[in-house]
Amino acid sequence: MHLMNILVPLGVCVVLPVLIVWLVTRVRKNETDRKAEIMIKAIEAGTPVDPTVFNNNKKKSVKKDLLEKFNGACITSLMGLGFLILKLTGIKIGFQGDFLVLGAVVMIAVGIGLFVSYFVGKKMLAKEIELEEKNLSEQK
């Protein structure tokens, strides 16, 4: 049991982030390699090549970015509250004691930070959001 108390937090805090970064990097590299193969074949065939193929300027709208922050704020805050409720009710799960409370407090703090970022961003970027909505309605 003592070994599990060491391995689980180590796996969650070290191995999981490393795996996520590795996976994202691998996906991006594969995408670039596929585009490069297509470009090489197009050049060999003598067809015109679009130079903007490698541009990854997928610009999100301001409103969508703010909504993603709001979504993250809701998720992290509710998870933190859930952990606190588990601790207060005494329901036994894999993590107990101070680690569970610390995780709950950290998640609630991150959630509050994202809520603040959302509301401040919504107030500061109101004109940009209005302009984007106007441009979208004109395109239709």
Same domain? For 53 and 66 the reply is no
Same domain? For 78 and 136 the reply is yes
Helix 126-139 vs helix 62-89: crossing angle, to nearest 10:
120
Same domain? For 72 and 123 the reply is yes
Residue 96's pLDDT is 61
User: Cβ distance 14 to 104 under 8 Å?
Assistant: no
Residue 54's pLDDT is 67
* Tokens encoding 83: 């952990």
Same domain? For 133 and 99 the reply is yes
Same domain? For 79 and 114 the reply is yes
**Which three-class secondary structure state does DSSP give residue 53?**
coil
Same domain? For 104 and 78 the reply is yes
Same domain? For 48 and 73 the reply is no
Q: State pLDDT tens for residues 22-56.
A: 999 999 999 889 888 888 888 899 888 777 766 76
Same domain? For 111 and 135 the reply is yes
Same domain? For 125 and 100 the reply is yes
Mean pLDDT score, 96-109: 82
The total number of structural domains that make up the chain: 2
Q: State pLDDT tens for residues 50-100.
A: 777 667 666 778 888 899 999 999 999 999 998 888 888 877 766 666 777
- Between the two ends of the chain, the Cα-to-Cα distance in Å is 61
Mean pLDDT score, 16-23: 91
- Give the range of the structural domain holding residue 23, as residue numbers without chain letter: 1-57
Same domain? For 46 and 80 the reply is no
Same domain? For 73 and 19 the reply is no
Q: Is the pLDDT of residue 103 over 80?
A: yes
- Separation CA 74–CA 115 (nearest Å): 8
Same domain? For 77 and 17 the reply is no
Mean pLDDT score, 5-21: 82
